[in-house]
Amino acid sequence: MNRWVARLTAALLTLAGFLTASAQPPPPGKAVIELLDVGQGDAILIRSPEGKAALVDAGPSRAVVDRLRETGLQSLDLVVVTHHHADHYGGMLEVIRQFPPRYFLATESRRSTGLYVRLLEAVAASDITPVYPWHDRPRTIHLGSVLLTVLPQPPEDLQEENENSIGLRVSYGDLHVLLTGDSQRRARRYWLQNCPDLIADCQILKLAHHGSHNGTDPLWLDVVRPRVAIVSLGAGNPYGHPHPQVLQLLAEYRIPLLRTDQRGTIRIETDGRRTDITGQRPAFTLASSSLPSRRNTQTRPLADGPRLNLNTASRRQLERILGLNPATSAAIIRNRPFRSLDELEDLDLFTPDQLTRIGSRTVVR
Ligand SMILES: [Zn+2]
């Protein structure tokens, strides 16, 4: 099978053409990180040169087990559930049955479902040791010679489970990869304030929240400074992931994006100095010279009439002028006051088009 390969060196990222490769364990002296193609969800397999393996999330279904078998995986040392949403733990029960790990890393977020409870019961009934992130300092895990740094865990967010995502910096030699589940603005702010060094200078960034508009912002890219972004999502997903604003932002920063919906499983292979990234299917657009120029200043479209103050508008105004339904207008009223229109994104209620429309017709005072 033809595979696309990007080569990441200390100096530059180049496209090296098409290579033939197959799912296989790491070659001697190399670590491999794979963004498994599990549809709309996350499942990231990390393997060390010594044969140690960790799985970060298990996708929405037991299909992840087939993907793991395709990689030739024999056993797992650690599994991680970044947060309690089923597109991240849907296949985990089957994974721990078929590849019983030694450790289970998850948060103590109170959000739960029947399936998550069964997963916890299965862990409790086994020899698997549960471990948790620390709130006040990072926690390091040695996966053979691959270092996993668990970022300090933000305080629990009772409204937005995405904000309870575990953050991981994966390091092997000079290569650093940042995985932050579906984290949004609040978690990003916490990490930027509490552990900026652990965020900074990761050559590869997994976009949080499947490329949603609330998973990435300019400040984040300014600190992380990724050379390549990767994202796991399903083709034709109903959420519109990846969102156009994120694609535009990456284009402005000239950061190429590799997507599992386009390339299937994405494999990062590194000896700690040189890194090759291959996709299961060939890429079709990744010439960095074809990307738009550096960031420009964006202007919001001007409103035709006077703008509505989002912090004082009545429910009727929100529905009539902005065309919102009763549920979303009630959510706006419940979450007031807003300090900026950007905070609307945190509600996770609106499509990118709706956000643009609201932004063009409202102010925050
Ligand atoms: Zn998710």
d(CA 48, CA 57): 18
d(CA 32, CA 55): 12
Sign for the CA dihedral angle at 350, 355, 357, 362 comes to: positive
Query: How many distinct structural domains can be found in the chain?
Result: 2
Is 183 a member of any domain? Answer: yes
Q: What is the pLDDT of residue 21?
A: 45
- Whether the CB-CB separation of 220 and 248 falls below 8 Å is answered with no
Residues with CB under 5 A from ligand 1 (ion): 87, 182
Confidence tier at 16 by pLDDT (50, 70, 90): very low
211 and 326 assigned to the same domain: no
Verify that 134 and 270 share a domain, yes or no. Answer: yes
Q: Are 291 and 280 in contact (CB under 8 A)?
A: no
- The predicted model gives 55-82 an average pLDDT of 96
Instruction: Say if residue 158 is in the same domain as residue 189.
Output: yes
pLDDT of residue 182: 97
Residue 12 belongs to a domain: yes
pLDDT band at 32 (very low <50, low <70, confident <90, very high): very high
Cα(207) to ligand 1 centroid in Å equals 11
Please tell me whether residues 130 and 227 are part of one structural domain: yes
- The CATH number for 219's domain is 3.60.15.10
**One domain for residues 332 and 266:** no
How much is the pTM?
0.75
Is 302 part of any domain? no
Domain check: are 274 and 327 in the same one? no
Residues 317 and 283 in one domain: no
Supply the pLDDT for residue 284. Answer: 39
Non-local (6+) Cβ contacts of 112 within 8 A are 84
Taking the C-alpha atoms of residue 246 and residue 261, their distance in angstroms, rounded to an integer, is 16
User: What is the distance in A from the centroid of ligand 1 to the CA of 246?
Assistant: 16
Residues in contact with 107: Cβ distance below 8 Å, sequence separation at least 6, in sequence order: 81, 83, 84, 132, 133, 153, 156, 164, 166
Summarize the confidence of residues 170-185 as an average pLDDT: 97
Over residues 146-156, the mean pLDDT reads: 98
Residue 67 counted as domain residue: yes
pLDDT in tens, 291-326: 333 333 333 333 345 688 888 888 888 888 888 888
Query: 41 C-alpha vs ligand 1 centroid, how far in Å?
Result: 5
Q: Domain of 316: which CATH number?
A: 1.10.150
Q: Which of 267, 275, 226, 268 is nearest to 246 (CA)?
A: 226
Cα Rg, the chain, nearest whole Å: 21
Q: Look at 18 and 359; give whichever has higher pLDDT.
A: 359
pLDDT at 297: 32
How high is the pLDDT of residue 81? 98
How far is ligand 1, taken at its centre, from the CA of residue 14, in Å?
30
Gap from CA of 166 to ligand 1 centroid (Å): 12
If one compares 362 and 204, the residue with the highest pLDDT of the two is: 204
My answer on whether 205 and 314 are in the same domain is no
Average of per-residue pLDDT values in the chain = 86
Domain match, 100 and 214 both:
yes
d(CA 321, CA 307): 10
Q: Express each pLDDT in 120-137 by its tens digit.
A: 999 999 999 999 999 999
For residue 300, is it within any domain? Answer: no
Cα separation, 90 vs 96, in Å, equals 12
Are both 79 and 144 inside the same structural domain?
yes
Structure tokens at 318: 């929100």
> For residue 357, what pLDDT is reported?
74
> Separation of 290 CA from ligand 1 center, angstroms?
30
Task: For residues 102 and 134, state if they share a domain.
Answer: yes
Average pLDDT over residues 14-26: 52
The token pair at 171 is 């390091």
Confidence of residue 288 (pLDDT cuts 50, 70, 90): very low
303 located within any domain: no
Q: Which residues are CB-neighbours of 120 under 8 A, at least 6 positions away?
A: none
Percent of the chain with pLDDT over 70: 84
Residue 48 forms part of a structural domain: yes
pLDDT category at 360 given cuts 50, 70, 90 is confident
Task: Give the residue numbers spanning the domain of 39.
Answer: 2-290
pLDDT band for position 348 (50/70/90)?
Answer: low
Most confident stretch, 5-19, 182-196, 262-276, 319-333: 182-196
pLDDT at 346: 63
Is the pLDDT at 90 greater than 50? The verdict is yes
Please give the pLDDT value at position 309: 86
- Backbone φ and ψ for 210, nearest 5 degrees, come out as 55, 30
Question: What spacing in Å lies between the alpha carbon of 299 and ligand 1's midpoint?
Answer: 30
The answer on 340 and 233 residing in a single domain is no
Q: How confident is the model at residue 23 (pLDDT cuts 50, 70, 90)?
A: low
Judged against a pLDDT cut of 70, whether residue 248 lies above it is answered with: yes
> Which contacts (CB < 8 Å, 24+ apart) does range 331-339 have?
336/310, 336/311, 337/311, 337/364, 338/310, 338/311, 338/364, 339/364
Q: What is the mean pLDDT of residues 263-291?
A: 72
pLDDT of residue 78: 98
Q: What percentage of the chain reaches a pLDDT higher than 90? A: 67
